Structure 1
Amino acid sequence: MNDLDSTADRFAVGELYPEDLPMAAAEALAQGHDTPALVELACLHRTETGDAPAVFRAALAELGLVADTEAAWSARDVDVRMRRAEKAAKALLAGEGIFVEHLTRIASDLDYLSVTPEVGSPELADLATDFDGFRWHLDDDTIDQDLLLDDIHARCRTLSAGQPWVRPVAATPTPTKPRWWRVWLRGRR
Structure 2
Amino acid sequence: MLSALSIAAALALSSPATQEGAVYERVPFAGHLVACTSEGLEVLSSEGQPVRVLGAEEGLPGTSCLALEVAGERLFAATDVGIVSTDDTFTLEPVLDVSWHTLPDAEDASTAEYVERLDLLAKVLPADATYTVLTSRYAGTLDGRVLELGTERAWTVAGPVWRIDEEPRGVQVATEDGAFFIDSWGRLASR
Tell me the TM-score normalized by structure 1: 0.25
**Which has the larger strand fraction?**
2
Point out the structure with max Rg over C-alpha: 1
**Which has the larger helix fraction?**
1
